[in-house]
Structure 1
């Protein structure tokens, strides 16, 4: 697991470089070169400490050792000259393995500013080589900054999607494993870790839930570092380990990717990684190499004019995505298995190459399941819609059906930051796939909604072999609906032709709302519409059940071309009920488009909705409006309430250090396994919630506590973030060891009560946020906290203040509950509209 300090070092190194090297990929290359340089010197020192000799910086290359580079007697210019000479010469160093020579091949420094280099090297100097997986996880975090590789159509695969595929494919210790477009080796490392896990004494598969198998960070990027538990593979013999690393292979056409993959595997314990610079599609040099497991997210894009493949492919095509899937399928052993991420074209395109590929996948190559992924899994790099093809040559022969699984939420929102959300279908998808492979049964709780099976005969019947799951879903039977069903086009006039977009640069600020797919985007000087209408997101919206896809616009306003504009026939349907009905639906079956998902006008008009009589509609709307008024009132209370109390000017003002014991913490060394996984909860700033609670922790041991600067903040303390993510604070509901970014305020109970201290801490946190200083990493000193003055009434008055605030908090919580009850009543009322006759 990656600690916040190591993450900070990586972020700081990038921030130092960004002024000279704005390209993230170039930043990663410079950091990689410097890290490997530093680690070679660390290994030399380790060898010398054990009585051996330096291996890397010896003979004519001893002058380039990192230790000599960091000599404070060198001027900035001398350091720059030495560094440039060292990295350009290292590929010719006969004392280093070929792996390291490959890493330094073509290395150069693209700037010549001594000050920037000195700052950068100082940050790199903070890293130390060890033999744990910590450096590997740190390097994966560094690689997570890589985005789209432009015209190649390569996108970094999110770690949780990689882990999901690996869990389904489930490689074993003796399997040969390949990724033919390996990029930075994410699939290969995940497969390696999976094998270590399943060959560890402390691995208990019966205790592991599906949701524990796919680890999620606060964002999709940070998921690479959120490992709940590390396994050491202690059931593997030395021969097993050697064979395992020899059995894992990667190809990539890009020398830059090969270099990064080599470093990544090396830092995960591979002494001689098998990564080859190889054109998988145009060269047949390795065509005869077969593998038990193939995992890949191959490039989606095809160069202009197409690929020029060799002649050994079964499918004659020039599209890279077709050829890669062909390659993978043809290079599996008799019992081989594969997991492949593919663009939607593979799923439904009607060109002969695509149809022939799908036919072969179903009839000859072991396709047994298709997992549809949400359209934004590759955000912020691409909104391209993708699916996962799962192949198992042995298993597929035992069934005449294909399993379709639809993942609508992967645990993260679809914004650029891809932040963690509650909705996550991956655990249920994993459960469905595992159950299917076990006994050809779909778990009842996900059947129909998330997973269903279709016969191969049905898929093949029109010769298209279309793998779009939704087309095979059973059509909803409305024949016994309580109210007649009508298409939206029958009860609404579509006014889309009147819409007009205005670019941001052309907009002139004014008083009229400017609407887009999700609501008001801006205010402009003119308007198009001057009436009450219903807007429904066309693209750039969300179409899940419960999302506010539809909304009402009133008065004078402008609408761009990302929202449909509807004028309901009010003699048939009321605007308010139409909006509620649309927002209660899952509209994704009406969505088309691969790169940009879209609710086009044809599909919009075809949406079927129930149509109660007008007088019934009026009753429903009146009831819903009453519920909504209660919700709005409750929200006002919740959003505007803040704990506050009157400060008597006669109360003495005292320094915090006079009434609290104040101290910071630290982080035990990650390289010492015995310092971790003990029984002491240890926290960092990432576990602080917005409502001043602590959610989650890691565990350290007694030895880890004694051999680090970490200290225990006892139950009842207030803990404030004083470094990096300043401005938050939390109440310690139990004893916690803390890291160096946190400061504990332990109240002297005879003078200040713990809950009063928590209340007054909001003013202290505000001051810390305003006064924090630093370049890159902001914070305040502990002395700053100690000297902060707070009002200190008697303990009796403190208790009265806390009691009053707690009563207010109870009222606020009741408002939250009331709003939730009213929301459920609205949902129940709309469900009645959709109900069926008995």
Structure 2
């Protein structure tokens, strides 16, 4: 990690356009945007390793051989074979290098297209110079709109992440994690914030901790973990030859955390587990099939005492009944849930998704047993952008929220505005189901007198759907618990299946 940089160079926009244009060529040949960026990342890493090996001062052989020279010196008709051999060889390496190429495959079956990508696209640029990480970030942002492949589920809009990071203000003593890191956006923006706000007088021990253990994440999907790790390498957060990877590839919900953090930033996957089986963990408050509710419990376990978190959740996590009510009640008791940001509809790749950001801290339990939450502040960005396309939101659109949040200042200094309102914990606990889907502005009386009745009906339908889903999940669990031993779900016993 390089924390001596005071400012980052701007990336080459012409390079971005050239890379994106070649991606369009590949898409016309059946290669998705995600597959293209996977291949591009692998090739850039090989080219960067070549550049590090060949530089006249402080040269470094991070691969142990010159893979790029080997690839570029191969004739076009044999290039795919050589490329695949290189990928296989590097995938067997330990540490970060092995993770970067873990299960990596060539996705470009046309030798002519691969040759063009190697010779005409990657080889002609110096990838060790400039802000290569920002180039990949912009490509990922454009790729996130590819709804056919669902690539956007791994990408949280960067202006939103930047606003969240500005609010929580990562510091040099923080240990920062994302348990569902996707392409690494939260870790990268937290690192950028540290670089831009790096204080003077940092000790050698503090620098070493920042370099070796301040950032870590978890990702379930191999291909996405490779992209995230590549992103961290290109941004200087970790090195190719690092023995201990920043990213762990596993199901983060499968077990209690073995390592905790002072700052958790994450957008967990929305929806329910692929099976009807509710997840049981001793450190969880209750069992549920809801991923987002399980992640809220996991983040609580993941936080050190006095740690803080910002978690993007679908609105259903704010009002879902059953396990949802219990988890919200316990979260209000165990944590100081102090801020809720209501996001515009469709800010993620699935256009109809309504989501919010929960900010909370994990203090020591209150001596008198009272809830740690005292007052929840709700900022409504959604009503301000009902007509806008959320994918076009920039940092300026979040500026008023960040100002109202008052980063680094006591929350007692906050002031209510037409878009920012507070609710006492007594008000929250008195609401039916501890419903946190809170309206900031007063609505006219009457069931169908809202300015936008369709939105109100959609909201009611969301609540009904969430309640039914929770009830069905509980019935499924009950049926499974009462099923006689050896009998399958279709009613046939195990002997009949053999």
Equivalence for 1:459 = 428
Displacement after TM superposition at 1:454 (Å): 1.2
Q: TM-score, normalised by structure 2?
A: 0.78
Provide closer, same or farther for how the CA distance between residues 280 and 106 of structure 1 changes in structure 2, counting only shifts above 3 A.
closer
Which SS does the other structure have where 2:433 is aligned? coil
Provide closer, same or farther for how the CA distance between residues 329 and 152 of structure 1 changes in structure 2, counting only shifts above 3 A.
farther
Alpha-carbon distance in structure 1 between the residues aligned to 2:376 and 2:312: 17
Equivalence for 1:298 = 268
Provide closer, same or farther for how the CA distance between residues 53 and 157 of structure 1 changes in structure 2, counting only shifts above 3 A.
closer
Equivalence for 2:116 = 119
| 1:91–1:102 Cα contact (<8 Å) kept | yes
Equivalence for 2:4 = none
Provide closer, same or farther for how the CA distance between residues 50 and 3 of structure 1 changes in structure 2, counting only shifts above 3 A.
closer
| 2:181–2:219 Cα contact (<8 Å) kept | yes
CA deviation map 1:192-242 (0-9, x unaligned): 111222215xxxxxxxxxxxxxxxxxxxxxxxxxxxxxxxxx765554333
Displacement after TM superposition at 1:398 (Å): 7.9
Equivalence for 2:194 = 195
| 1:76–1:118 Cα contact (<8 Å) kept | yes
Kindly indicate whether structure 1 or structure 2 has the higher relative contact order, using CA contacts under 8 Å at least 6 residues apart: 2
Equivalence for 2:458 = 593
| 2:336–2:373 Cα contact (<8 Å) kept | no
Aligned match of 1:404 in 371, 378, 384? 378
Q: Tell me, yes or no, if structure 1 residue 382 matches structure 2 residue 354.
A: no
CA deviation map 1:648-700 (0-9, x unaligned): xxxxxxxxxxxxxxxxxxxxxxxxxxxxxxxxxxxxxxxxxxxxxxxxxxxxx
Q: Tell me, yes or no, if structure 1 residue 43 matches structure 2 residue 52.
A: yes
Provide closer, same or farther for how the CA distance between residues 129 and 412 of structure 1 changes in structure 2, counting only shifts above 3 A.
farther
Displacement after TM superposition at 1:101 (Å): 2.3
Equivalence for 1:243 = 209
Displacement after TM superposition at 1:15 (Å): 2.7
Provide closer, same or farther for how the CA distance between residues 84 and 488 of structure 1 changes in structure 2, counting only shifts above 3 A.
closer
Q: Tell me, yes or no, if structure 1 residue 168 matches structure 2 residue 164.
A: no
Deviation larger for 11-20 or 236-245 = 236-245
CA deviation map 1:450-497 (0-9, x unaligned): 001111111212452111221x754669xxxxxxxx9988xxxxxxxx
Kindly report which structure 2 residues correspond to 1:559-638, keeping only aligned pairs within 5 A, or say none. 587=452, 591-593=456-458
Which SS does the other structure have where 2:153 is aligned? coil
| 2:344–2:386 Cα contact (<8 Å) kept | no
| 2:26–2:32 Cα contact (<8 Å) kept | no
Provide closer, same or farther for how the CA distance between residues 22 and 358 of structure 1 changes in structure 2, counting only shifts above 3 A.
same
Alpha-carbon distance in structure 2 between the residues aligned to 1:590 and 1:118: 52
Equivalence for 2:69 = 67
| 1:342–1:388 Cα contact (<8 Å) kept | yes
Alpha-carbon distance in structure 2 between the residues aligned to 1:474 and 1:16: 52
Alpha-carbon distance in structure 1 between the residues aligned to 2:301 and 2:126: 43
Deviation larger for 10-19 or 433-442 = 433-442
Alpha-carbon distance in structure 2 between the residues aligned to 1:114 and 1:281: 41
Displacement after TM superposition at 1:13 (Å): 3.4
Displacement after TM superposition at 1:297 (Å): 0.3
| 1:411–1:420 Cα contact (<8 Å) kept | no
Provide closer, same or farther for how the CA distance between residues 186 and 152 of structure 1 changes in structure 2, counting only shifts above 3 A.
closer
Alpha-carbon distance in structure 2 between the residues aligned to 1:315 and 1:487: 34
Which SS does the other structure have where 2:273 is aligned? coil
Higher strand fraction: Structure 1 or Structure 2? 1
Alpha-carbon distance in structure 1 between the residues aligned to 2:35 and 2:75: 26
Flag the structure with larger Rg: 1
Displacement after TM superposition at 1:53 (Å): 6.9
Displacement after TM superposition at 1:34 (Å): 1.2
Question: RMSD value over aligned CA atoms?
Answer: 3.4
Equivalence for 1:515 = none
Higher helix fraction: Structure 1 or Structure 2? 2
Kindly report which structure 2 residues correspond to 1:717-736, keeping only aligned pairs within 5 A, or say none. none
CA deviation map 1:602-656 (0-9, x unaligned): xxxxxxxxxxxxxxxxxxxxxxxxxxxxxxxxxxxxxxxxxxxxxxxxxxxxxxx
Which SS does the other structure have where 2:177 is aligned? strand
Aligned match of 1:344 in 312, 315, 331? 315
Which SS does the other structure have where 2:217 is aligned? strand
Deviation larger for 401-410 or 367-376 = 401-410
Unmatched segments (≥5 aa) in structure 2? 1-9, 464-498
Equivalence for 2:259 = 289
Equivalence for 1:128 = 126
Provide closer, same or farther for how the CA distance between residues 156 and 440 of structure 1 changes in structure 2, counting only shifts above 3 A.
same
Q: Tell me, yes or no, if structure 1 residue 419 matches structure 2 residue 284.
A: no
Provide closer, same or farther for how the CA distance between residues 441 and 301 of structure 1 changes in structure 2, counting only shifts above 3 A.
same
Aligned match of 1:32 in 24, 27, 41? 41
Equivalence for 2:153 = 154
Alpha-carbon distance in structure 2 between the residues aligned to 1:594 and 1:260: 36
Which SS does the other structure have where 1:30 is aligned? helix
Alpha-carbon distance in structure 2 between the residues aligned to 1:410 and 1:377: 13
| 1:435–1:442 Cα contact (<8 Å) kept | no
Aligned match of 1:256 in 198, 216, 223? 223
Provide closer, same or farther for how the CA distance between residues 323 and 148 of structure 1 changes in structure 2, counting only shifts above 3 A.
farther
Displacement after TM superposition at 1:166 (Å): 1.2
Unmatched segments (≥5 aa) in structure 1? 201-233, 478-485, 490-584, 599-838
Count, aligned residues: 439
Equivalence for 1:22 = 31
Alpha-carbon distance in structure 2 between the residues aligned to 1:80 and 1:91: 16
Equivalence for 1:184 = 183
| 2:159–2:393 Cα contact (<8 Å) kept | no
Q: Tell me, yes or no, if structure 1 residue 141 matches structure 2 residue 138.
A: yes
Which SS does the other structure have where 2:209 is aligned? helix
Alpha-carbon distance in structure 2 between the residues aligned to 1:280 and 1:138: 29
Which SS does the other structure have where 1:440 is aligned? helix
Equivalence for 1:368 = 338
| 2:31–2:108 Cα contact (<8 Å) kept | no
Alpha-carbon distance in structure 2 between the residues aligned to 1:315 and 1:81: 51
Displacement after TM superposition at 1:406 (Å): 0.4
Displacement after TM superposition at 1:319 (Å): 1.1
Aligned match of 2:295 in 324, 330, 348? 324
Equivalence for 2:478 = none
Kindly report which structure 2 residues correspond to 1:442-591, keeping only aligned pairs within 5 A, or say none. 442-443=414-415, 447-470=416-439, 473-474=441-442, 587=452, 591=456
Alpha-carbon distance in structure 1 between the residues aligned to 2:123 and 2:274: 45
Alpha-carbon distance in structure 2 between the residues aligned to 1:596 and 1:7: 42
CA deviation map 1:393-432 (0-9, x unaligned): 349978722111101378897448x3368x9652111111
Alpha-carbon distance in structure 2 between the residues aligned to 1:258 and 1:155: 10
Provide closer, same or farther for how the CA distance between residues 260 and 236 of structure 1 changes in structure 2, counting only shifts above 3 A.
farther
Alpha-carbon distance in structure 2 between the residues aligned to 1:412 and 1:27: 34
Alpha-carbon distance in structure 1 between the residues aligned to 2:208 and 2:336: 30
Q: Tell me, yes or no, if structure 1 residue 314 matches structure 2 residue 278.
A: no
| 2:339–2:376 Cα contact (<8 Å) kept | yes
| 1:369–1:390 Cα contact (<8 Å) kept | yes
Alpha-carbon distance in structure 1 between the residues aligned to 2:82 and 2:152: 38
| 1:308–1:318 Cα contact (<8 Å) kept | yes
Equivalence for 2:491 = none
Alpha-carbon distance in structure 1 between the residues aligned to 2:383 and 2:360: 23
Alpha-carbon distance in structure 1 between the residues aligned to 2:454 and 2:337: 24
